[in-house]
Amino acid sequence: MRTEIRAQKIFVKNAIDLTVIQRMPDGKIAVAKPLVLETIDPEFVMPEPTMTLRMNEAQLLMDELWDCGLRPSEGSGSAGSLLATEKHLKDMQAIAKGLLKKDGVEV
């Protein structure tokens, strides 16, 4: 079984709908129902996690939220942004070396 959390931005609600799906080996899917919250006394009861995601499932959720337009609220840049910057830098270095060689400068 594979758990997926799908995210869809809903503009009219100014919200993101999350749907939890498990894909079964026979091709069927199981869909989680809405959560029910229970009041507890935090002094006496340690709450259990609502759910646990494997790393690849958490990555899928992260990607889904990114596709909905959400970004980390702290920090600057991202892995994708860094990769784009590194590619741009490599391109600029190639251009600079080409211009220097054209002017007879050994690089």
Domain match, 63 and 107 both:
no
Percentage of the chain surpassing pLDDT 90? 58
Within-domain flag for 102: yes
Query: So what's the pLDDT on residue 78?
Result: 65
Percentage of the chain surpassing pLDDT 70? 93
Domain match, 54 and 106 both:
no
Domain match, 20 and 62 both:
yes
Look at residue 16 and tell me whether its pLDDT is greater than 70. yes
Within-domain flag for 22: yes
Taking only the tens place, the pLDDT of each residue in 33-81 is 999 999 988 888 888 899 999 999 999 999 999 999 888 876 555 666 7
Which residue is it, tokens 């869909």?
Answer: 31
Domain match, 9 and 56 both:
yes
CB under 8 Å to 78, separation ≥6 — which residues? Answer: 71, 72
Look at residue 102 and tell me whether its pLDDT is greater than 90. no
Query: So what's the pLDDT on residue 84?
Result: 82
Within-domain flag for 62: yes
Within-domain flag for 58: yes
pTM of the model: 0.60
Question: Residue 88 is part of which domain span?
Answer: 76-107
**Rounded CA gap, 9 and 19, in Å?**
12
